[in-house]
Amino acid sequence: MRVKDASTLFLRVEAVPLHQTMQKREECRMDILQTEFNFTLPKGYVDDTGTVHKQGTMRLATAADEIMPLRDARVQQNPAYLSVILLSRVVINLGTLKMITPRVIEELYTSDFSYLQELYNRINQNGSNIIRTKCPKCDHPFEVEAEILGE
């Protein structure tokens, strides 16, 4: 909006009951795309000093995240390595580690590696860990956050 003279700008303010404000805020939150998901690994990554890192965050993958690793020589030699490269791109933090490299992903216990693969698939295919369902008794719709192994 362009205003030439500040004296011509009027703002209308209405008093709204708090419960309506909270309801509107909740409605707005439902329209926001969640792009980062916190997780807890079942066992945790053990670094060179013996520190265990279990808490982390994974972001949604982009097209580049799935395409760029295909150029990597390690993936071309062994297509199964794609998961390692892909996870190292989308896991944005793990404990106090400064950087998540393919080496970190390689050194995860298999249960933690499987957990991250499952989380990756769930958030990138469904967009969230939320499952919409209905009460079998009253048919009331509600949402449940799916529990993921390790959390």
Q: What is the dihedral of CA 56, 100, 61, 111, to 10 degrees?
A: -60
Residue 50 dihedral angles phi and psi, to the nearest 5° = 90, 0
Q: How many angstroms separate the CA atoms of 118 and 48, rounded?
A: 26
> pLDDT at position 138, please?
86
- Mean pLDDT in order along the chain per 10 residues (151 residues): 47 52 52 85 97 97 95 96 98 96 98 96 77 74 58 41
Are 61 and 89 in contact by the 8 Å Cβ rule? The answer is yes
Q: How many angstroms separate the CA atoms of 66 and 57, rounded?
A: 18
> pLDDT at position 137, please?
80
> pLDDT at position 141, please?
78
DSSP one-letter code for 11: -
Q: What is the dihedral of CA 86, 88, 90, 93, to 10 degrees?
A: 170
> pLDDT at position 136, please?
75
Spatial CA neighbour of 129 closest among 67, 60, 46: 60
Q: How many angstroms separate the CA atoms of 25 and 31, rounded?
A: 10
> pLDDT at position 132, please?
62
